[in-house]
Structure 1
Amino acid sequence: MDFNASLRRAIKTGNVILGQNETEKSIREKKAQLVVVAKNCPQEFREIINQNKELDVYVFEGSSVQLGMASGKPFMVSALAVVDPGESDILSLKRA
């Protein structure tokens, strides 16, 4: 699976929430099916998502700048939540 292509397809055809605050909100509301965090995501936010044991989390191996570029956005994205994958196969990243 090509992560970048799957992410862009999910953004285009589904519902993907960008940013730590909105991602945290979607986790609290139990809407997030998958959370993707950049490798350099702040530790405080990682602790928040690690508190939720049933949440599926994928650590993107690049920086927040690279995750922003992978998202097709001209800004840093340290975290995002996939609410609806649309026509993407991005949910295949979920923990087994």
Structure 2
Amino acid sequence: MSEALFERELKAAAKSGKLSLGARRALKLLLKNQAKGIIVADNAPPDVRKNIESLANINGVPLYVYKGTSADLGSLIGKPFKVSVIAVLNPGDSRILDVLSEGR
């Protein structure tokens, strides 16, 4: 899967869907089984990344490790701050869940 396709679909999901930002929110959503997909920045803290990955694996939620930093991930979705984890709640008009599933 190409990084360009992922970035395009994530931007579309940010515009038309519903995303939740941050590791703590993502963990809570995974525990409640409400997240449909998870995106983790490559430089996320190792303990956070391990917890998110294990919960996503247990719940069968597709997880994608973004090959950029949390600053890159934040700017990709139009935020002026760092974002280490994104939980997809509603993909909107995007195919982000398909892209996440392919990346598994």
Q: Same fold (TM over 0.5)?
A: yes
Matched, 1:4 2:10: no
Alignment equivalent of 2:94, drawn from 81, 88, 91: 88
Query: What is the aligned-residue identity percentage?
Result: 36
* Inter-partner Cα distance in structure 2 for 1:59 and 1:94: 12
Give structure 1 regions of 4+ aligned residues with deviation exceeding 6 angstroms: none
Deviations 1:34-59 (A, max 9, x none): 10000001111112122222221100
Matched residue, 2:66 = 60
Matched residue, 1:70 = 76
Q: What CA RMSD, in Å, does the superposition of the two structures yield over aligned residues?
A: 1.4
Matched, 1:49 2:45: no
SS of the equivalent of 2:65 reads strand
Pick the structure with more helix per residue: 2
Q: What is the aligned length?
A: 96
* Inter-partner Cα distance in structure 2 for 1:50 and 1:11: 22
CA contact (8 A) 1:18 1:79 kept: yes
So what's the TM-score if we normalise by structure 1? 0.91
So what's the TM-score if we normalise by structure 2? 0.84
CA contact (8 A) 1:49 1:55 kept: no
Q: CA deviation at 1:4?
A: 2.2
CA contact (8 A) 2:62 2:97 kept: no
- With 82-91 and 42-51 compared, the bigger mean Cα shift is at 42-51
Q: Which runs of 5+ in 2 are unaligned?
A: none
